[in-house]
């Protein structure tokens, strides 16, 4: 997990003035990725329900790394283990894609500055910052291109 989702902590870390960095769900911990998905009492309650529903033992997990380790080491029937591994892979993919997404309401796209085989680049402004906006052409979208785009975004952060 890259810890770049727009949690309150990450928004504040990027210099954007916000009222509080406390968790929106519990108002106790600092709203980081690990807190929001694992350490928050709300996340733990949901995790307990899912574990009971799937008949797997509950383990108190406080980070993405601990969760991955638990999935790798838990003794489960093959069907259940495969299900957890698929969810883990899906979560990892969603986290990576989510890192590249922004709230489009705050994005202003300006003039086109370049064009490539798979998309176009535009000047833009996002939350008062000058940005470059890359718009991919839908006819070229596939898993490989998406992975390359996520990698490109990670390098620019």
Residue 41 lies in a domain: yes
Residue 16 lies in a domain: yes
19 and 57 both lie in a single domain: yes
Q: Which domain holds residue 75?
A: 8-100
Digit-coded pLDDT (tens) for 117-152:
778 888 988 878 888 888 777 676 677 777 677 667
Q: How many domains does the chain have?
A: 2
What is the model's pLDDT at position 144? Answer: 74
pTM: 0.49
Per DSSP bridges, beta strands 129-136 and 107-115 are: unpaired
Digit-coded pLDDT (tens) for 37-49:
888 998 889 888 8
What is the model's pLDDT at position 88? Answer: 64
21 and 83 both lie in a single domain: yes
Phi, psi of 135 (to 5 degrees): -110, 115
63 and 135 both lie in a single domain: no
80 and 22 both lie in a single domain: yes
How far does CA 46 lie from the centroid of its chain?
18
Residue 14 lies in a domain: yes
Which of 59, 79, 100 is a domain's end point? Answer: 100
Q: Can you give the CATH number for the domain in which 122 is found?
A: 3.30.200.20
84 and 122 both lie in a single domain: no
Q: Helix, strand, coil % (nearest 5) of the chain? A: 50, 15, 30
84 and 144 both lie in a single domain: no
13 and 52 both lie in a single domain: yes
């Amino acid at each position: 997990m890259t810890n770049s989702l727009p949690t309150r902590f990450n928004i504040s870390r990027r210099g954007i003035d916000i009222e509080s960095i406390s968790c929106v769900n519990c108002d106790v911990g600092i709203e980081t990725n690990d807190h929001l998905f694992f350490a928050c009492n709300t996340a733990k309650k949901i995790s307990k329900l899912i574990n009971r529903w799937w008949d797997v033992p509950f383990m108190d997990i406080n980070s993405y790394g601990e969760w991955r380790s638990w999935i790798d080491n838990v003794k489960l029937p093959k069907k259940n283990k495969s299900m957890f591994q698929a969810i883990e892979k899906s979560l990892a993919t969603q986290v990576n894609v989510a890192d590249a997404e922004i709230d489009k309401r705050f994005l202003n796209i300006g003039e086109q500055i370049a064009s490539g085989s798979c998309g176009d680049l535009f000047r833009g402004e996002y939350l008062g910052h000058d940005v470059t906006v890359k718009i991919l052409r839908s006819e070229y979208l596939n898993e490989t291109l998406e992975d390359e785009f996520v990698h490109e975004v990670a390098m620019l952060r």
